[in-house]
Amino acid sequence: MELHLPEKVNRAIKLLKDNGFEAYAVGGCVRDMIMGIAAHDFDVTTSALPEETEKVFEGFRIIETGIKHGTVTVIIEGEPIEITTYRTDGDYLDNRHPESVNFSRNLKDDLSRRDFTVNTLCFNENEGLIDLFGGTEDIKSGIIRCVGEPDKRFNEDALRIMRAIRFSCTLGFDIEKSTSESIIKNRELLRNIAAERIREEFTKLLCGKSVRDTLNKYRCVLEVFIPEYADLFGCEQNTPYHIYDVAQHSLAAVDFIENDKDLRLTMFFHDIAKPLCKTTDENGRDHFKGHALAGYVISKEILKRMRYDNKTVEKVSTLIKIHSAASPRSKAEAKFFLSNIGEERYRNFMKVRRADCFAKANPNSHDEKLKKMQEFLDEILKNDECFSLKQLNIDGNDLKAMGIKGEKINLALNSLLTLVINGDCENDRDKLIEKAKELK
């Protein structure tokens, strides 16, 4: 395959080479180009020392935030390109950051400290592809393999444990045997990594191609930072509706739902409270009453612990709270549902319910109900039918003018909305005022 770099990257490399230095695009961008994946972030590695790089690009805007570790960010054509000096790292005492960085003029020194062979590939358009550690062959074979000794790589930076699993899931690659064994052996090192860093890798992993297979294989890693998930494995669901234990059902549901961060988090955690809520009746049938509400509370705690932003926490936990609600059976019920949760959650509820069903004994059990839900929504929106207070043709000022005060204003508005949704009053201002007088 012919590889081509964006013009701004070629320009940076050419300027460095014209000044007597080696320079290559390196890492994930080269890996992605070889795999035919659109590369977005381009990093450049060079034999130039940071001060030499700055001199080469003295006419450009330069950002020095990473200069201590040899990285100079140069703005070319309005976009940042990170240019990093070949380097070797000192000891890693915190399983994340080297105590010192030593610059080198030797490309192999730099590549030998990197995480996986598929990320050691270098390229420029004069010399072509540079592959010192078999990264090309590992891409062809679909293998994630550490550069050098896996234990050393993971002790240097424990986040690489999550990166290996994430790459396996997103690229659809297997993890090489010694690398895999080292991941399991060193998984407790993740306790030394900031929650935010783990969260980023975990989120990318959940949006991968093969979440179910990957997390089944590396569930012990997952349990280091989400210990609550351990109870889902082996938690059987002896009901006519289920064919999997809670863990397998949840992971299957993640695989079924569309590749959206919030929806995948929802399916991953949607039954997190089932082990706590499980009861078994005299016939041996299991019940999980209250698991959706309990799941709302537990998922919220976990997501906050993992440092997800407030919007994500609220969006995901609320979907979990309503995921087992009854589907609307009439247009009026659909309007009440819309009034309570809004259009976006209404649409997401249908996606969540569909994925939940796909991971059960009868994947099509809710097809008709979901079809009716969609029809209700389409008709309501097409006809601009009222389902929310903001659509009512009367507001709080109208009620104040009638002498209704305080909390009674909101009570009256909700009562009027109920009348409109039920078809007991038209959404007409004069008629609503007459009804309001009756309510008063």
SS (H, E, C) 202-257: HHHHHCCCCHHHHHHHCHHHHHHHCHHHHHHCCCCCCCCCCCCCHHHHHHHHHHHC
Are 255 and 268 in contact by the 8 Å Cβ rule? The answer is no
Regarding the domain delimited by 386-440, which CATH topology (the fold level of the hierarchy) does it fall under?
A: Serum Albumin; Chain A, Domain 1 (1.10.246)
pLDDT at site 96? 61
Return the closest-CA partner of residue 44 out of 110, 113, 89: 110
Return the closest-CA partner of residue 232 out of 160, 185, 291: 291
Regarding the domain delimited by 142-225, which CATH topology (the fold level of the hierarchy) does it fall under?
A: Hydrophobic Seed Protein (1.10.110)
The mean pLDDT values, 10 residues at a time, for the chain of 440 residues are: 89 96 96 91 94 94 84 91 88 63 92 96 95 97 97 95 96 96 97 96 94 95 97 95 96 96 98 97 96 98 98 98 96 96 97 96 93 97 95 90 87 92 92 86
Q: pTM for the whole thing?
A: 0.91
CA distance 9 to 46: 13
CA distance 300 to 315: 10
pLDDT at site 2? 82
All structural domains of the chain with their residue ranges: 7-132, 142-225, 228-385, 386-440
pLDDT at site 142? 97
CA distance 270 to 291: 9
Task: For residue 85, give both structure tokens.
Answer: 């000096």
| CA atoms in the 13 A half-sphere facing the CB of 276 | 13
pLDDT at site 66? 78
SS (H, E, C) 100-119: CEEECCCHHHHHCCCCEHHH
For residue 139, CA distances in Å to 37, 88, 207, 285 come to 12, 25, 20, 48
Task: For residue 223, give both structure tokens.
Answer: 């349990």
Question: Which residues have CB under 8 Å from 185's CB, separation 6+?
Answer: 151
CA distance 19 to 384: 66
Strands 279-280, 286-287: pairing kind = antiparallel
Question: Which residues have CB under 8 Å from 119's CB, separation 6+?
Answer: 27, 28, 31, 135
One-letter identity of residue 9: V
SS (H, E, C) the chain: CCCCCCHHHHHHHHHHHHCCCCEEEECHHHHHHHHCCCCCCCEEEECCCHHHHHHHCCCCEEECCCHHHCEEEEEECCEEEEEEECEEECCECCCCCECCEEECCCHHHHHCCCCEHHHCCEEECCCEEECCCCHHHHHHHCEECECCCHHHHHHHCCHHHHHHHHHHHHHCCEECHHHHHHHHHCHHHHHHCCHHHHHHHHHHHHCCCCHHHHHHHCHHHHHHHCHHHHHHCCCCCCCCCCCCCHHHHHHHHHHHCCCCHHHHHHHHHCCCCHHHHCEECCCCCEECCCHHHHHHHHHHHHHHHCCCCHHHHHHHHHHHHHCCCCCCCCHHHHHHHHHHHHHHHHHHHHHHHHHHHHCCCCCCCCHHHHHHHHHHHHHHHHCCCCCCHHHCCCCHHHHHHCCCCCHHHHHHHHHHHHHHHHCCCCCCHHHHHHHHHHHC
Are 251 and 356 in contact by the 8 Å Cβ rule? The answer is no
Are 197 and 240 in contact by the 8 Å Cβ rule? The answer is no
pLDDT at site 30? 96
Task: Please state which of the four CATH numbers 3.30.460.10, 3.40.50.1260, 3.50.50.100, 2.70.98.10 is assigned to the domain occupying 7-132.
Answer: 3.30.460.10
